[in-house]
Amino acid sequence: MAGSATEEKTFRRFLELFLREMRPPLQENDPLPMRPLTDLISEDEVEGECLDLCVQHLYKYNCPCSLAAALARATADSVLQSDLSIHHVNKTVEDGADPLPQLESVKLARLVFNRLFEMCCLWLKDFPYRRRPQPYYETSIHAIKNMRRKMEDKHVIIPDFNTLFNIHDQEEQAFFAVFDGHGGVDAAIYAANHLHVNLVRQETFSQDAGNALCRAFKLTDERFVQKASRENLRCGTTGVVTFLRGKTLYVAWLGDSQVMLVRRGQAVELMKPHKPDREDEKQRIEALGGCVIWFGTWRVNGSLSVSRAIGDSEHKPYICGDADHSIFPLDGSEDYLILACDGFWDTVSPDEAVRVVTDHLQENAGDTAMVAHKLVASARDAGSSDNITVIVVFLRDPRFPPPTTAEEEDEEGAAEQEVEEEEVAEAEEEEEEEEEEEEAVRMERGGGEGGSTADIGGKGRGGWPLQQCSAPADLGYEDRMDSFTDRTSLSLLGPSLGVEEEGRIILPPASSVGPSLGLTADLFSAWGPGAVCHHYQEEGLLRPRPKSCVPAFQEPNTPASTDPLWPQVATLLNQAGRQTRRMVCASPRWGPKCIGRTPKELPGLLRSCRTVPYSHRWPDRRPGVALPHLPDDTTI
């Protein structure tokens, strides 16, 4: 493996800093840098636990992925070659059953961290690792607990799969996965730590990675069911895995976590999630004696809203562990992958996800660091209350255009030739028109070779085109900000508030707005239904701003000019619009009385609503006396 001297220098520098931070070999009573998430593990689980402890601990110190994979592999090999029997604890599965040898995870973790410290010391003296060239796999990751009580999602990022498992006879490989737990996090943790280890152990891994992925899912499910039986666990997890080998993409999944491919800016469907409302899943469950019923959503036996998962032993065989898989060849035109749990996909469509990513890349000159954050924010703003985990895996550098195929090059060449021909034809037509115009001027002035055209037309006009397109004077965009934050903030008014048209909001009739929107009456009493109001953002809140518009309180299909009471109503409403904030605060009856009223009823309502205590409007006057009218020049 060839590596540059600069890269080796960077790796050595990391080892120096890491050894300064890490304590000397841990003693029996010393606290662990990272405590294992389970108390007991079987011998089959040792490799996965070692790799996870090493990688997660190294990532805390911003270790490069390739170096972390190499150190984790060397440490795990050292641990597996040692005598682990001293850490065994005999615990029976149940009364009368044969004892199952298990290890104390805390003691194993202490051994792992000590071996990692020793490995770093050895590599600093004699650095043996040389990184192989890797494909472009830049990733952006973000996960939040959101509105749930606990975070039950787990994810796995292994861009250098061959180094982590010391594989030399395969093309470059990468592994990315998202696991969405339910009923607890134990199943998601187990799958995240062991599914990729079970994948490599499959006999068909070298020849048929798709089949090996399905077998790995099945084996992971069976072993976790055994672990759940030993430790009385009642939980499960969905999962989606993307495995990249050379120019082939393998996808395997259980449940409703999903992955989407984006090619040349277009979403490509790779899979169909396992949900009880799928006809084939419903038939499978009913054939086994189960049922699918509606309880807020379609659920298996009225309980789980997924039809396949790892774990959930009490719901077997209806909730099975048989994964589906798909295979997709890659030609280099692929942009990125989006892996996410159902907390994301339930509220964000594939097209919307592509739009969010595209907008972010354009606004940030191709910087991918915060892409996953923007996607998570879009799901949360769309109403998701579930745990949300999003991984974006870029398959090429987004700062450069995708490569073109031979067919596309031919199409582009033909298009360019057609454009050139059109430009030549247009130029010839312009010359002919200019000559005709010049000849007409010459004839008008009496013709002759001595006629001048420098100040009149033709070629002497400075080359002005015959048709010009002026910039649109659309004042509706004067307050608009084309940024992600601004677009998401527009949803604060709700989808049914009004029609957004060219940067403006057209308010609906007041009678059509229900209390569920959380809108106060002063919004409509100030501007009225049908009024055009420009919006702007201030301190995170969206507030309408009047744009010198007259509220249109009138009956449907009744022109303002034909209503005999309209001038009087308009005058009163214009006066009330200037004082709405104060009057609404003083009289809560104002809004309910005016909404849905006809123009004939409004003058009386306005007069009755002025019976407001003076202490709210004019503190220096006598309280308890109503004003007979509201003067035009009164200001508050």
Per-residue pLDDT, averaged over 254-258, amounts to 96
Q: What is the pLDDT of residue 434?
A: 75
When pLDDT is cut at 50, 70 and 90, the band that residue 379 belongs to is very high
Three-class DSSP category at 627: coil
Whether the per-residue pLDDT at 252 is higher than 70: the answer is: yes
Q: What is the model's pLDDT at position 418?
A: 73
Q: Which of 20-34, 108-122, 546-560 has the lowest mean pLDDT?
A: 546-560
Strands of the sheet with 504-506, listed across from one edge? 499-501, 504-506, 532-538, 541-546
| Phi-psi label, residue 298: left if phi above 0, alpha if psi -120 to 50, beta otherwise | beta
Exposed, middle or buried: residue 561 (CB in 10 Å: 0-12, 13-18, 19+)? exposed
Contact 576, 587 (CB under 8 A): no
The pLDDT of residue 164: 95
Summarised one tens digit per residue, pLDDT across range 469-479 is 222 222 232 33
Average pLDDT over all residues of the chain: 74
- Would you tell me how many other CB atoms lie within 10 Å of the CB of residue 584? 20
Strand-pair partners of 141 = 391
Per-residue pLDDT for 35 more than 50? yes
pLDDT digits (tens, 9 = 90+) for 387-428: 999 999 999 999 888 776 555 556 656 666 777 777 777 777
Q: Which tops the pLDDT comparison, 138 or 549? A: 138
* E strands, 52-194, in order: 88-92, 99-104, 138-144, 153-158, 173-182
Angle between helices 371-381 and 350-363 (to 10 degrees): 130
> Of residues 225 and 530, which shows the higher confidence score?
225
pLDDT of residue 304: 92
Q: What is the pTM of this model?
A: 0.65
CA-to-CA distance for 485 and 569, rounded, in angstroms? 39
Residue holding tokens 């696991």?
179
Residues in the chain: 636
pLDDT of residue 68: 94
Highest mean pLDDT among 33-47, 277-291, 394-408, 448-462: 277-291
Residue 460: per-residue pLDDT: 36
What's the confidence (pLDDT) of residue 134?
80
pLDDT band of residue 489 (cuts 50, 70, 90) is: very low
The residue-averaged pLDDT of 94-123 equals 82
pLDDT at residue 335 is higher than 80: yes
Residues 6+ apart with CB under 8 A from 70: 129, 131, 163
Q: Which residues pair with 467 in a beta bridge?
A: none
Q: Rounded to whole angstroms, what are the CA distances from 155 to 11, 141, 178, 388? A: 26, 9, 4, 11
138-144 vs 388-394, strand pairing mode: antiparallel
58/123 Cα distance (integer angstroms): 15
Q: Which residues contact 91 (CB under 8 A, 6 or more apart)?
A: 40, 99, 100, 102, 230
215 pLDDT higher than 50:
yes
For residue 320, what are the contacts with CB-CB under 8 A and spacing of at least 6?
Answer: 284, 307, 308
- pLDDT band of residue 26 (cuts 50, 70, 90) is confident
In this structure, the number of other CB atoms found within 10 A of the CB of residue 492 comes to: 15
Residue 141 · residue 162 · CB < 8 Å: no
The pLDDT value recorded for residue 556 is 41
Alpha-carbon Rg for the chain, nearest whole angstrom, is 35
Which residues pair with residue 222 across a beta bridge?
none
Ranges assigned E (strand) in 246-343: 248-254, 258-263, 266-269, 292-294, 298-300, 310-311, 324-329, 334-340
Residue 196 identity (one-letter amino acid): H
pLDDT on residue 416: 67
Is residue 276 pLDDT above 90, yes or no?
yes
